[in-house]
Amino acid sequence: MRISDRYIGKQVLTGTLYAVMILGLVLVLGNLFKQIQPLLVDQKAPLGLVLRFVIGVLPLSLMYTIPWGFLTAVLLVFGRMSSSHEITSFRVGGLSLVRLSAPVFLIGALLSLLSLWLNMNVVPQAKASTRQLVYEQAVRDPGSLLKPGVVQGDFKGNGQELQKLLIEGKNGDWLQGFHFYVLPTAGIATNDKTYIHAARAALSVDTKKSQLRLKLEDAYFESRDAKGDVQMVFAGEAEPLVIDLKGVNEQRLRPRLMSNEQIRQAIATNPAMDLNTMLKLKSEIMSRFAFSLACLAFAFVGVPLGLQSHRKDTSWGLMISVLIGTGYFLITMLADQVKSGFGAACVLWAPNLLCVVIGLVLFRRVRFNR
């Protein structure tokens, strides 16, 4: 191994590590924590649940921060080496740009293998575990997940109708001003609706049946049938009102919560699976392979772009990395909107191919212009 390989490789690895840490803490974890803040912070969920959630989402952040951090490190390292004329010194010593870039491509390939392992095994388990955390907290202390004045729910009933909860306040173990809504699922032509109000309600959980059971006091029931007729019932006490939690804990046939082996097994054991579901399962596997090659693809475009920077500040490299990373991830997200397997494959692999082609063109230009 040449001295240049160790020199460049060490700087790229160190820069990638720092970039991954900063991006993970500031961008990804900050955004994810903001999304779950109403559930974990505002509703005063236990600190242990918050910590378990943070640990669970760390692998999810690595999906994005590893390739993005690697690209940022390559741009900054080669930009600095270009501005300080270190690249010129190496070339005078007989090293070509391709040879100088060899450690970058090696690191990119190794990081792609790491990303592939994470995307195939660790990330699906992490997504499933974070989803399981909410279910476990609902079983342990359902009242802790209800915040006064905030509509909770999107539970699915036996008929796949939407169930939503709203409470006005809490008094010990009792929920004050309890409101419960049962609404038809979007796309289903029906007028069936149910509204339940109670002065107060007490919660309990049936763990065997995965059900949330409520005891109501001073309850009012209002239902509207398919014809639009309204029926009203009053009750001093009513129990139990049952809300099914199985939908919260259900993980089958959710591609993003399944490993590649589980997806292949689901396809093999369900020959009657509808085409749309099968397409989602196959696209999930393909997206993991395509997404994992981002580091290697970024190596092609990062080196020549970094060499074109002659500034000593880091603003240019950071700006370019943000633009390339954002464009790459946005294009891959479009695959979910494609309804054909071939179209989804084209969208998923397009960012990698674009990075390689653009990188080769830029390599040729930099090689002959320097």
User: Percent helix, strand, coil in the chain (nearest 5)?
Assistant: 60, 20, 20
What pLDDT, on the 0 to 100 scale, is given for residue 49? Answer: 65
Query: Comparing 72 with 154, which gets the higher pLDDT?
Result: 72
Q: What is the largest CA-CA distance in the chain?
A: 91
Taking the C-alpha atoms of residue 267 and residue 79, their distance in angstroms, rounded to an integer, is 47
What pLDDT, on the 0 to 100 scale, is given for residue 107? Answer: 95
Q: Which of 80-89, 116-125, 279-288, 339-348 has the lowest mean pLDDT?
A: 339-348
Would the pTM of this model clear 0.75, i.e. be above it? no
Q: Which of 62-76, 81-95, 126-140, 202-216 has the lowest mean pLDDT?
A: 126-140
Q: Which of 138-142, 174-178, 338-342 has the lowest mean pLDDT?
A: 138-142
Burial 161-196 (b: 16+ CB within 10 A, else e): bebebbbeebeeebbebbbbbbbbeeeeeeebbbbb
The rounded percent of the chain whose pLDDT value lies above 90 is 11
Would you say 51 and 57 are in contact if contact means Cβ atoms under 8 Å apart? no
Residue 9, pLDDT above cutoff 80? yes
Average pLDDT over the chain, rounded to an integer: 77
Cα end-to-end distance, the chain, whole Å: 25
Residue 316, pLDDT above cutoff 60? yes
Residue recorded with tokens 């195939």:
120
Q: Which two tokens stand for residue 251?
A: 């993980």
How much is the CA Rg of the chain, to the nearest whole Å? 27
- The residues pairing with 178 across neighbouring beta strands, listed in sequence order, are 167, 198
Would you say 191 and 161 are in contact if contact means Cβ atoms under 8 Å apart? no
Over residues 39-74, the pLDDT tens digits come to: 555 555 566 666 777 777 777 788 888 998 999 899
Neighbours of 315 (CB within 10 A): 9
Would you say 94 and 220 are in contact if contact means Cβ atoms under 8 Å apart? no
